[in-house]
């Protein structure tokens, strides 16, 4: 009698909490129109390859919303001009500082 020392077969990844569904790459390719529809109606869809998270499919609106948040001005002048503090009056007057007396 021989005992088989086979490793148990890995189960396909399950959807993690907060995610709608994890699709295997082959399934995503075969059912792309469903994947597309779900990304638009249910939110981001995760696609795995070899049991690892590979990509996330999301609607164009969601992508625009997310990418707008990280857009930054092209230069420092635009950055300060777009700041919510741009119109705040600042008093830049200071008393002259003549240093302090130091005993040597």
For residue 4, is it within any domain? no
- The answer to whether residue 15 scores a pLDDT higher than 70 is no
Per-residue pLDDT band for 91 (boundaries 50, 70, 90) equals confident
| pLDDT tens by residue, 36-46 | 999 999 999 99
Domain count, the chain: 1
Q: How far is residue 79's CA from residue 72's CA, in Å, rounded to a whole number?
A: 8
Per-residue pLDDT band for 58 (boundaries 50, 70, 90) equals very high
Q: How far is residue 56's CA from residue 69's CA, in Å, rounded to a whole number?
A: 18
Per-residue pLDDT band for 69 (boundaries 50, 70, 90) equals low
Q: What is the CATH number of the domain that holds 43?
A: 3.40.1620.10
Question: What is the domain extent for residue 49?
Answer: 22-81
Please measure the distance between the N-terminal and C-terminal CA atoms of the chain and give it in whole angstroms: 94
């Amino acid at each position: 009698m021989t005992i088989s020392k086979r490793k148990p077969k890995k189960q396909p990844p399950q959807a993690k909490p907060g995610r709608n569904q994890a699709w295997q790459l082959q399934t995503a390719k075969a059912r792309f129109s469903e994947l597309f529809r779900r990304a638009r109606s249910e939110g981001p869809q995760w696609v795995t390859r070899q049991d690892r998270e590979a990509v996330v499919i999301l609607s164009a609106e969601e992508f625009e919303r997310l990418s707008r948040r990280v857009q930054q001005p092209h230069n420092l002048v635009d950055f300060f001009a777009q700041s919510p503090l741009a119109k705040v009056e600042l008093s830049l007057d200071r008393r002259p500082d003549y240093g302090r007396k130091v005993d040597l």
